Amino acid sequence: MLSLAKGEFLVGKKMRTLANLLLLSALLFGSTEQVEAQAGIDIRDVQVEHDFGEEIRFSAQVESPNPIKEILLIFRDVNEENTRVISIEADDEGRISYSYDAREDLLHPFANIIFWFQIALESGESQTSEDFSFVYMDNRFEWETREENNLRVHWSEGDEAFGLAALDTARNGLAGIQSLFSVDNAQPIDIYIYASPADLQNALFMGGETWVAGHASPALGIVFVSISPGTQEKILMEQQIPHELAHILLYRYVGENYNHLPTWLLEGTASIAELYPNPDYQLALNRAVENNTLLPIADLCHPFPRDASQAFLAYAEAESFTRYLHTNFGTSGLDDLIIAYADGLSCEAGAMRVFDKSLTYLDANWQESVLGANLLGVAWRAVLPYVLILALLLATPLAVSISALRKRRIDA
What pLDDT score was predicted for residue 406? 65
What pLDDT score was predicted for residue 34? 39
User: What φ, ψ does residue 55 adopt, rounded to 5°?
Assistant: -155, 160
What pLDDT score was predicted for residue 15? 37
What pLDDT score was predicted for residue 22? 36
Q: Residue 351: CA atoms inside 13 Å, Cβ hemisphere, count? A: 19
Whether the Cβ atoms of residue 311 and residue 305 lie closer than 8 Å to each other: yes
Whether the Cβ atoms of residue 68 and residue 90 lie closer than 8 Å to each other: yes
- Distance, in Å, from the CA atom of 144 to the CA atom of 352, rounded to the nearest integer, reads 48
398 CB contacts (<8 Å, ≥6 apart)? none
246 CB contacts (<8 Å, ≥6 apart)? 173, 177, 180, 269, 270, 273
What pLDDT score was predicted for residue 402? 64
Per residue of the chain (412 residues), what is the pLDDT tens digit?
Answer: 444 433 333 333 333 333 333 333 333 333 333 344 456 789 999 999 999 999 999 999 999 988 999 999 999 999 888 899 999 999 989 999 999 999 888 888 999 999 999 999 998 888 999 999 999 999 999 999 999 999 999 999 999 999 999 999 999 999 999 999 988 888 999 999 999 998 998 888 754 455 567 899 998 999 999 999 999 999 999 999 999 999 999 999 999 899 999 999 999 999 999 999 999 999 999 999 999 999 999 999 999 999 999 999 999 999 999 999 999 999 999 999 999 999 999 999 999 999 999 999 999 999 999 999 865 554 555 555 555 566 666 666 666 666 666 666 566 5
What pLDDT score was predicted for residue 27? 32
Torsion of CA 144, 147, 152, 155, to 10 degrees: -20
User: What φ, ψ does residue 186 adopt, rounded to 5°?
Assistant: -75, -25
Other C-beta atoms within 10 Å of 57: how many? Answer: 14
Output the CA–CA distances (angstroms, integers) from residue 229 to 157, 171, 185, 199, 347, in the order listed.
7, 19, 28, 14, 41
What pLDDT score was predicted for residue 80? 84
What pLDDT score was predicted for residue 410? 61
The secondary structure of 59-91 as a DSSP string is EEEEE-SS-EEEEEEEEEETT-S--EEEEE---
